[in-house]
Structure 1
């Protein structure tokens, strides 16, 4: 594989920048990992201390994990300098460092790496510094890397519309790497012809994104209120004082570098604001969510089916005296598209004093209104909110009407860092302008394909909110919303799943929410080393997951029909 999903496969530009940092700061036996802030680097080092250093003798460790700071000056661009924080560690510790990178999502962006490489490659003046004493943690005799300073002739960047851009050389200067010259051209086109705002407007783009999310959430909540009573009848419960979220504002929306960063930091904020308690992972989750809850804090209780019987078990656990920090669930879940009984879980949360965090990435803001039942809603903006598959982002939305709102706000005032890289914000703002329209079309396309597959007689089961936990999903479905663009197909044998997948004439890859239809053998990709464990929760290796895009609806249905015909060939 030459590339892959950015949290699982470190982007090639980031790898190039890592090599430059290793050459400057590292030793022959070391590797490096790059972070956008001192705090994220410290958390990575603490993770290495816990899972690599602890339990080993000094003789077994070539060198202790340490941090170097690299200040790259940019000479006239919007940023006067960029600070890189480099975690250096023995090569044998890389798998553990990679876990931190994957689970937290707090590493640097590929666009940040490109920005730094551009200035380094064009002989910008770079200054390296040793971390301050409180960061270096001299108590364990961590040694800094070589302290080098390089000085070179400065160059300037600009563009015809009056602002200076990090990726638009003028005065005849040429990037040294061909892959960066492509980026020059793309930046010029984006900014010159108005598709993207210029780099200096990144802060305004972030405000626009936060306002867009808050507005859609409020609109969806109002839409859900219109048919709340009928939804409550469906789930067999009474309305115990439904509180809308009309008071939500952009100040209650926080942005992160990716969706997993939003989940990881939400858990971290709750631990800090409420103290160390175990959490609950309810329903079969996206792989890294469970890992975060298990590896940070005192651990978690896992209820992998996410059904009524699991709520019964959870209630017994709480009645026994167990006190939990929070319950994390997806709505609906990935890849089985199950919906949790949020009304019943909310009742337990109010009674036993724990927070509910809902990841609505699969459902998305347009289709479901879940903030009413949650303390926090997290989402991966990388997916359908963006759609274009060229930027990552995440969001966290606080419910202003819930009991932990003030304590979280107070804690986050000191702990939250805006780590979304400026150019990523610009692309994300541009991509999400037509988010609602794209969501509606994808809903219609996915429903048409699923209806066809459901009646084909050639698959064992179609996992889709219209057919899976339907009443629970519709209890939170908005009036104008649909069932989303994600579904999974179960076949009666691995061979038939392979035949279908190979014959399915669409893009193949491990993401979702793309503007084009995408399929993957989800269980084999996400749980290759734990197939038996996943199977006990209904996630079988004979499963193919599909994320529907914006193609012509009739052509999409025909594409799936052709793939089913391959089963009879």
Structure 2
């Protein structure tokens, strides 16, 4: 398909009711939104679901407030009683400097939409749990929503809005509401298990991943949050992040403790430093609980030496958690090194930017498997709403075909654009892409072998670093493609990553090699030559800009 005319500012991208991205056409508008400018944020009609509350969820919350006379208070909706209670606990003892409240100022109300004749489960509507709090705590509640990804989805809100005539408050139950039962969940779990076992890079243990090893969540962030708590319940010790991992992973560890260490580049020298640290701790009789990494990392597409990490894990007795979202199931096989695999299913697996979902997979050959499985099974509730699951299952049927297209397109574009770095006085200072990175051998070690059905590649994302902010700004502003958050969609998405994610922490980001002049690009299913033409025209505009400064 050809690149479409981009949507206007603030509109959903793609143009779908449950889209997870939003068009932010200019560098200046991205900065204004990241800084919380009221005019800029009010112009948004959509946004990434953990950062922007979908209109249907807003309408449902307002209806609950009105029905139960809570107009002087604010509320946040969850489909899991455990999540609602965790939200209340966080608001009482938040550690990020937000305002906190007292236990009696925050309540959890149970909301039903069924009747004696038509129970909730017949309508595929589990109970909702409203955390009710004073307006001054809105910032704290919003941060919990972002850090945990456990809030209700727009599809679930839409279904509840259809049942408002049956809304009622019910007595808070002692146990969380069980999940709606539907065969679609097993279909998704089995599909993920099959993909993880597809074309392995090396021999493994005797057990294969099965559907019972796959746990579904309402977002990738929810999978991270629950994996972190699983490890806290297992060992309750320090975690380590190696290689630049998504900033919210780090913030989740900060928020829910107990502590973490950060080795941002993931180089061999840093792994040497990590080994010395682990040895010192071991001599003191102290163990860490886990090392977290990505394959590859966001946004610089680096891949750490996971073989070395695995050796350290076996020696010093800790868990390896790998987020394979960017490499994705099709291209990389991390089961030989990971005890736990985290994936944002929102991205390439779903592929159409209209479902928020995540998964956690336990490696059945891990020495920690039985203990971790027991911890998860004791409290696990499937909060992925059934309507989201249906859409996810439908969208992911052609995952391998889409992955092929995105691999080919990104590789073609990088082959054409990467030479810009070596041009004298070039406006492009660096390009980041797995095969062009210093860590390419580490990525290749995890790349699946080719089969008749699929040839693995380097994923659909790359990042361009420019020589100056004004040049990067001109490139983005003149780029005639969709510009907004998320990756792995069927439409190409460009984002000035630091301006959106680290607007208030630019110095910290740059100290870890993440410069504010980068533009991250996630390719879609558009024609690769037409995409190249769009990029070249934007580069030409940026080059003219450089000549004027």
- Same fold (TM > 0.5): yes
- State the match for 2:199 in structure 1: 220
- State the match for 1:486 in structure 2: 461
- State the match for 1:388 in structure 2: 352
1:312 deviates by 1.5
Match for residue 163 of structure 2 among 110, 119, 127: 119
Contact kept in structure 2, 1:383 and 1:514, CA below 8 Å? yes
Match for residue 439 of structure 1 among 374, 397, 403: 403
1:267 deviates by 0.9
Contact kept in structure 2, 1:202 and 1:423, CA below 8 Å? no
- State the match for 1:551 in structure 2: 526
Contact kept in structure 2, 1:527 and 1:534, CA below 8 Å? yes
Matches within 5 A, 1:299-448: 299-321=259-281, 322-448=286-412
In structure 2, do the counterparts of structure 1 residues 56 and 79 end up closer, same or farther at CA, with 3 Å as the change threshold? closer
- State the match for 1:247 in structure 2: 208
- Partner of 1:466, secondary structure, is helix
1:568 deviates by 3.1
Match for residue 250 of structure 2 among 290, 293, 306: 290
In structure 2, do the counterparts of structure 1 residues 27 and 481 end up closer, same or farther at CA, with 3 Å as the change threshold? same
Q: Distance in 2 between matches of 1:37 and 1:337?
A: 35
- State the match for 1:280 in structure 2: 240
The answer to which structure, 1 or 2, has the higher relative contact order (CA under 8 A, 6+ apart) is 2
- Partner of 2:408, secondary structure, is helix
Match for residue 89 of structure 2 among 46, 67, 77: 46
Q: Distance in 2 between matches of 1:441 and 1:52?
A: 44
- Identify the range of structure 1 (279-288 vs 416-425) with the bigger mean alpha-carbon deviation: 279-288
- Partner of 1:17, secondary structure, is helix
- Identify the range of structure 1 (278-287 vs 20-29) with the bigger mean alpha-carbon deviation: 20-29
Contact kept in structure 2, 1:258 and 1:381, CA below 8 Å? yes
In structure 2, do the counterparts of structure 1 residues 484 and 336 end up closer, same or farther at CA, with 3 Å as the change threshold? same
1:536 deviates by 0.7
Q: Distance in 2 between matches of 1:319 and 1:541?
A: 36
1:390 deviates by 1.1
- State the match for 2:75 in structure 1: 32
- State the match for 2:435 in structure 1: 466
Matched, 1:500 2:475: yes
1:54 deviates by 11
Matched, 1:87 2:131: yes
Contact kept in structure 1, 2:126 and 2:180, CA below 8 Å? no
Match for residue 267 of structure 1 among 223, 228, 231: 228
In structure 2, do the counterparts of structure 1 residues 54 and 449 end up closer, same or farther at CA, with 3 Å as the change threshold? closer
Q: Distance in 1 between matches of 2:63 and 2:98?
A: 32
- Partner of 1:396, secondary structure, is strand
- Partner of 1:475, secondary structure, is helix
In structure 2, do the counterparts of structure 1 residues 80 and 415 end up closer, same or farther at CA, with 3 Å as the change threshold? closer
Q: Distance in 2 between matches of 1:7 and 1:89?
A: 19
In structure 2, do the counterparts of structure 1 residues 565 and 354 end up closer, same or farther at CA, with 3 Å as the change threshold? same
- State the match for 2:150 in structure 1: 106
- Partner of 1:397, secondary structure, is strand
CA RMSD of aligned residues (A): 2.3
Q: Distance in 2 between matches of 1:342 and 1:53?
A: 32
In structure 2, do the counterparts of structure 1 residues 245 and 531 end up closer, same or farther at CA, with 3 Å as the change threshold? farther
Q: Distance in 2 between matches of 1:491 and 1:65?
A: 48
- State the match for 2:35 in structure 1: none
Match for residue 504 of structure 2 among 509, 529, 538: 529
Contact kept in structure 1, 2:125 and 2:180, CA below 8 Å? no
In structure 2, do the counterparts of structure 1 residues 335 and 134 end up closer, same or farther at CA, with 3 Å as the change threshold? closer
Aligned length: 481
- Partner of 2:524, secondary structure, is coil
In structure 2, do the counterparts of structure 1 residues 484 and 81 end up closer, same or farther at CA, with 3 Å as the change threshold? closer
1:29 deviates by 3.7
Contact kept in structure 2, 1:356 and 1:375, CA below 8 Å? yes
- Identify the range of structure 1 (92-101 vs 45-54) with the bigger mean alpha-carbon deviation: 45-54
Q: Distance in 2 between matches of 1:404 and 1:129?
A: 40
Q: Distance in 2 between matches of 1:516 and 1:134?
A: 42
Summarize deviations over 1:465-498 as a string: whole Å, max 9, x none. Answer: 0101111100101122100001100000001101
In structure 2, do the counterparts of structure 1 residues 557 and 201 end up closer, same or farther at CA, with 3 Å as the change threshold? farther
Contact kept in structure 2, 1:105 and 1:261, CA below 8 Å? yes
| TM-score for the superposition, normalised by structure 2 | 0.84
Q: Distance in 2 between matches of 1:248 and 1:337?
A: 27
- State the match for 1:66 in structure 2: 107
- Partner of 2:299, secondary structure, is coil
1:27 deviates by 3.9
In structure 2, do the counterparts of structure 1 residues 333 and 245 end up closer, same or farther at CA, with 3 Å as the change threshold? farther
Q: Which runs of 5+ in 1 are unaligned?
A: 136-199, 226-241
Contact kept in structure 2, 1:523 and 1:541, CA below 8 Å? yes
Contact kept in structure 1, 2:296 and 2:434, CA below 8 Å? yes
Contact kept in structure 2, 1:371 and 1:377, CA below 8 Å? yes
- Partner of 2:163, secondary structure, is helix
